[in-house]
Amino acid sequence: MTSDEREAIAEEIGDYVVALAANLGLRDWVFTIRVNPRKKGYQAMVVPTQGRRIAQIRIGPEFKTLSPNTQRNAIVHELLHLHHRDTADLIRIRLGPKVMSQLLYDVVWAQYKELEELATDTLATAIDRMFPFPPWSEAADVEPTPQ
């Protein structure tokens, strides 16, 4: 994948991310999109900037080959993580090993990450059909299904 191809995909996905973010209460966030053609093992991931409403959405190499439903779910899922960012920072930064023992911190952080991931996954699956499919997909003309 060339740099120009990655840039075109990032721009296309970026417009979709901004539209979904606005509908998920994340209008005040600024997003950058990074298409990573080499790192396998994920569909998408979000990397927020600590203390700012800025996040990078990283797109995995197979993202564009996924079904429109899976693409939509992946983006909704990653955006929902941003609503948990401040809670995660509270545990990770404010209550970290400086406040509690390393062992206790490791247990609390691992448990939090697992529960937060499950909650995010459940919410994304429950609400993703309320949002349009990606505009580049053949399913883009299908109306969202209100719940």
Q: What is the 3-state secondary structure (H, E, C) of 50-108?
A: CCCCEEEEEECCCHHHCCHHHHHHHHHHHHHHHHHHHHHHHHHHHCCCCCCCHHHHHHH
Instruction: Tally the domains of the chain.
Output: 1
Return the H-helix or E-strand segment holding 33. Answer: strand 30-35
Distance of CA 39 to the CA centre of its chain: 16
Q: Indicate whether 146 belongs to any domain.
A: no
Q: Indicate whether 99 belongs to any domain.
A: yes
Q: What is the pLDDT of residues 31-72, one digit of tens each?
A: 999 998 677 778 999 999 988 999 999 999 889 889 999 999
Regarding pTM above 0.75, the answer is yes
Q: Indicate whether 44 belongs to any domain.
A: yes
Q: Indicate whether 42 belongs to any domain.
A: yes
Q: Indicate whether 145 belongs to any domain.
A: no
Q: Indicate whether 143 belongs to any domain.
A: no
Q: What is the pLDDT of residues 76-134, one digit of tens each?
A: 999 999 999 999 989 988 888 788 999 999 999 999 999 999 999 999 999 999 999 99
Q: Indicate whether 62 belongs to any domain.
A: yes
Domain housing 82: 3-138
